[in-house]
Structure 1
């Protein structure tokens, strides 16, 4: 599954765009550099019933922003992404 697909699935499951979840994380102070990934994962599990894999995708966005390493960009593998920049404003608004 691509990184973007993880975020799209999170939106489907929670009803919130990645950007909305990022804002909630910021309100809670989870965007602070010292915040442990486990703290964020526990919050996402408790409030949104997200599993670890999906939560860790969001942890990356919370801690590093929408840019992902180019390792899988443009490849033919299962985890390929079309771009190294993730779309955070919802699947329905993503440009074609």
Structure 2
């Protein structure tokens, strides 16, 4: 599955686009600009996405990668 396919499937499941997740993460003080904030671990973001959005590990890691600046 391509990175874009992961993002498309996440949007279908949650109704949130990757840019929506960027805003949600910023509101939770997890990101700074277009990167994950220093000191924030992947596991913290993955746990948030699993708990609040019922994402699996792979899909949560795709959002983590997006939050860290990967766009394609």
Give the structure-2-normalised TM-score: 0.86
- Segments of 4+ moved more than 2 angstroms: none
- Is the 1:37–1:59 contact (alpha carbons within 8 Å) kept by the matching residues of 2? yes
Paired residue for 1:55?
Answer: 60
Q: How many residues align?
A: 67
Higher strand share: 2
Paired residue for 2:43?
Answer: 38
Cα drift, residue 33 of structure 1: 2.2
Q: Structure 1: which 5+ residue stretches go unaligned?
A: 67-85, 87-96
1:7-18 equivalences under 5 Å are: 7-18=7-18
Give the structure-1-normalised TM-score: 0.66
1:71-90 equivalences under 5 Å are: 86=72
**TM-align CA RMSD:** 1.0
Higher helix share: 2
**Who wins on radius of gyration, i.e. which is larger?**
1
